[in-house]
Amino acid sequence: MKDATFLIPTAKLLQKVVDMIDKLHLDDKDIKGDLYEYLLSKLATAGTNGQFRTPRHIIKMMVEMMLSHATITKDFKIYDPACGTAGFLINSIEYIKEQRAEILDTLSSKEFEGLFYGNDFDISMARIASMNMMLHSIESAHISNTDALAKFDLKEENKYDLILANPPFKGSLDYEEVSKAVLDVAKTKKTELLFVSLILKALKTGGRTAIIVPDGVLFGSTTAHKELRKEIVSNQQLDAIISMPSGVFKPYAGVSTAIIIFTKTNGHKNDKVWFYDMQNDGFTLNDNRTPCDGSDIPYILERFKNLENEKNRTRTDKSFFVPISEIENNDYDLSINRYKEVVYETVTYDKPAKIIEDLETLNSKITTGLKELKELVNG
């Protein structure tokens, strides 16, 4: 509670708030958690440092993709270096409880709490995240309030089995403000690249990540962009690129984003990468973001869990494989538009003489109709 501000100004108002809360049925911790998540959904969290509240349906998709077949023991560690309100961690907790309940039989309460780690440089976000974790049965939440890029040290290297993150998209830091270990991967001032570098360092060998990045990370032409992509493509195991539509983060931002999924191997690269062109996330892509039909998310989950069935798809489909060698030959470009093939439908038009003839016939009918209408009016 350090530096916390108490915003209830009078004793009477405090008494009224306490009485109202006391009437709520909050014996079940799940209800408390749901209520807290609802309140968080009403927060306008479009920060000045590129912070945007990640849509919960996107978080759930990423969590299911990464945890559905993960081998989770007491030593497993899930981490979000820019956790915000702890959305990725909370959804991981709920997914394990609901879909991987057998794991709970092998872990004590303390061991289960030890699976989840988060960090945010914003003290308010770290505070909210800690409370969110407590309301979801994690009494001793491992949420820290540090500058992850500046304070990264040897204790954080090779520590985590799974990293789920949506780090800040915009921002620039001086080299002096960033840990040398992070800069060793790619020397850059851009926060979106620095966080990918941090994740590479923080993962254990064999650890996996799903991270949301702006599209510029996939095709940027600077030396740092290329070095980072080369590291992921040729020195790690790049598993998937999921391109998302630009409206996913509206109304806060219209930036196009993608999810990068890779495994840290330090020397072993994949032979091919799975791409998916998400065109609909189940909500309209305007500022209102109202629910709509046609979501790609169920197909993404189904196809990702059965990648062996994807090898015969063509590049005109929403999902397809691209050989690593082709990506390397394309300057490590990871944008889906570089590889997707668009089929254009052939449209045949009449010759100009025929169009003119049709127009003359139409005009003749209009003239006749107007003449008949005029006679009716005058008659």
What is the per-residue pLDDT across 203-252, written as a single tens digit (0 to 9) for each? 999 999 999 999 999 999 999 999 999 999 999 999 999 999 988 988 77
- Residue 34's pLDDT band, with cuts at 50, 70 and 90, is low
pTM recorded for the entire structure: 0.83
In this structure, what DSSP letter does residue 186 have? -
Give the number of other Cβ atoms within 10 Å of residue 244's Cβ: 22
In this structure, are strands 272-277 and 319-323 parallel, antiparallel, or unpaired?
Answer: antiparallel
pLDDT of residue 42: 64
Supply 250's token pair.
């509206």
Beta-carbon contacts of residue 228 (< 8 Å; ≥ 6 apart): 185, 186, 188, 193, 196, 197, 217
- Residue 314's pLDDT band, with cuts at 50, 70 and 90, is very high
- Residue 41's pLDDT band, with cuts at 50, 70 and 90, is low
pLDDT of residue 48: 47
Q: Is 120 helix (H, G, I), strand (E, B) or coil?
A: coil
pLDDT of residue 315: 94
pLDDT tens for 128-144 read 889 889 888 888 889 99
Place of tokens 């800040």: 168
Give yes or no for a contact between 289 and 250, defined as CB atoms under 8 angstroms apart: yes
Q: Which residues pair with 78 in a beta bridge?
A: 116, 162
Q: 237: closest CA among 258, 214, 206, 212?
A: 206
Average pLDDT over every residue of 309-319: 93
Give yes or no for a contact between 277 and 315, defined as CB atoms under 8 angstroms apart: no
Give yes or no for a contact between 62 and 165, defined as CB atoms under 8 angstroms apart: no
Average pLDDT over every residue of 352-375: 90
Say how far apart CA 234 and CA 332 lie, in whole Å: 9
Q: 199: closest CA among 98, 286, 88?
A: 88
- Residue 31's pLDDT band, with cuts at 50, 70 and 90, is low
Q: With left for phi above 0 and alpha for psi between -120 and 50, is residue 3 left, alpha or beta?
A: left
Look over the chain and give the mean of its residue pLDDT values, rounded to a whole number.
89
pLDDT of residue 214: 93
pLDDT tens for 286-307 read 888 899 999 999 999 999 999 9
